[in-house]
């Protein structure tokens, strides 16, 4: 456990707020300017930042994040460069905010699992989320991450049966990422009616905080969910705002969602 993630949730809790886990794509529109986007997320109130590392074939992502990944790859983003050029600078500007790398397992495998875990820790990364690495395939990678002190955050899906969800939650590192909708990333006007019930179940079993993510983009959605989760993840809406209007728009959207998370 890095401990850093737990502290960030505790700080939000102490302020009477749900945590905002905010995602952006490293390298979109280029590496230096994505540092400004990450900084804006924190200024807008993000408690934890997910640093997206682009992959050529992102099967868990909808069109908005696919587009961001394409731009990042064109701009020359690689895992190595994100760890060397983005992470240290974001850490320098926002030393309190835990950073979690979000990418696909092939990017980590190509880099070398152990080499990644070590370098990530060195650069100040608190955890990682790999949406195409389900529990059955994650044992060895997680042991490597545990040894280095990097949290491998697991995901729970709407299709995950209750017993499986409880097992995932009990054994989690960092936090549990509850995928709100069966589908890919992207904004949704409506979240499934059984979501709060699923969140309650995972929360009861979890040894760490739980967050809801996928499809969330408004203050109102954040307000509804903050009764059932310790925080929410916002991704596509922030990526779109930053891409269309720049860091200020992403900062404003974070502040907006933060209002919904006040308890």
Partner 1 sequence: MSTQTATGRFGRFGGRYVPETLVPALLELEEAYAAARADPTFDAEVARVLREFVGRPTTLTPARRLTEAWGGAEVWLKREDLAHTGAHKINNTVGQVLLARRMGKKRIIAETGAGQHGVATATACALFGLPCEVFMGALDVERQALNVFRMRALGAVVRPVESGSRTLKDAMNEAMRTWVSQVSDTHYVIGSAAGPHPYPTVVRDFQSIIGTELRTQAQAAFGKLPDAIVACVGGGSNAMGVLHPFIADAGVRLIGVEAGGHGLDSGQHGASLTLGTEGVLHGSRSLVLQDADGQIQEAHSISAGLDYPGVGPELAHLAKTGRMEVRTATDDEALAAFYEVARMEGILPALETSHAFARGRELARELGKGKYLVINCSGRGDKDVATISARGVPPAVGVKA
Binding site for partner 1 (CB under 8 A): 55-62, 66, 73, 78-80, 104-111, 131-137, 154-161, 164, 179, 181-184
CB of 136 to partner 1, least distance (A): 6
4 Cβ partners below 8 Å, 6+ apart? 98, 126
CB of 207 to partner 1, least distance (A): 18
Reported in sequence order, the residue ranges of 8-132 that DSSP labels E, i.e. its strands, are 19-25, 48-52, 99-102, 125-129
Between 18 and 58, CB nearer to partner 1: 58
Between 78 and 97, CB nearer to partner 1: 78
Q: Is 61 a catalytic residue?
A: yes
Catalytic entry in 17, 61, 151, 230: 61
Between 44 and 131, CB nearer to partner 1: 131
Q: Which residue has the tokens 């009477």?
A: 16
Give rounded-to-5 percent helix, strand, coil for the chain. 50, 15, 35
Q: Give strand pairing partners of 233.
A: 21
Residues 192 and 227: beta-carbon distance below 8 Å: no
CB of 251 to partner 1, least distance (A): 30
**CA 33 centroid distance within chain:** 19
Per-residue CA distances from 153 to 17, 130, 133, 176 (Å): 21, 8, 10, 6
Using CA atoms, how far apart are residues 214 and 77, in angstroms rounded to an integer? 24
Catalytic entry in 17, 28, 47, 50: 50
Between 47 and 151, CB nearer to partner 1: 151
CB of 112 to partner 1, least distance (A): 10
- Please state whether beta strands 48-52 and 125-129 pair in parallel, antiparallel, or not at all (unpaired): unpaired
Q: Which residues are catalytic?
A: 50, 61
């Amino acid at each position: 456990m890095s401990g850093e993630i737990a502290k960030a949730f505790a700080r939000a809790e102490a302020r009477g707020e749900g945590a905002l886990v905010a995602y952006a794509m490293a390298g979109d529109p280029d590496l230096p300017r994505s540092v400004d986007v990450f900084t804006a997320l924190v200024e807008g109130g993000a408690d934890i930042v997910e640093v997206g590392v682009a992959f050529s074939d992102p099967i868990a992502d909808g069109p908005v994040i696919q587009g961001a990944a394409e731009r990042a790859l064109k701009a020359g983003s690689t895992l190595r460069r994100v760890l060397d050029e983005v992470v240290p600078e974001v850490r320098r500007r926002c030393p309190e905010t835990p950073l979690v790398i979000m990418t696909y397992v092939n990017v980590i495998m190509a880099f070398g699992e152990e080499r990644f875990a070590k370098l990530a820790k060195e650069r100040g990364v608190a955890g990682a989320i790999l949406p195409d690495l389900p529990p059955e395939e994650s044992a060895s990678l997680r042991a490597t991450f545990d040894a280095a002190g990097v949290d491998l955050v697991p995901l729970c899906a709407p299709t995950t049966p209750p017993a499986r969800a409880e097992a995932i939650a009990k054994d989690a590192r960092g936090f549990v990422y509850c995928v709100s909708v069966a589908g890919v990333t992207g904004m949704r006007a409506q979240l499934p009616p059984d979501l709060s019930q699923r969140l309650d179940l995972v929360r009861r079993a979890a040894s760490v905080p739980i967050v809801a993510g996928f499809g969330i983009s408004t203050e109102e959605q954040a307000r509804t969910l903050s009764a059932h989760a310790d925080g929410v993840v916002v991704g596509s809406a922030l990526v779109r705002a930053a891409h269309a209007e720049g860091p200020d728009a992403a900062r404003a959207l974070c502040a907006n969602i933060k209002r919904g998370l006040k308890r």
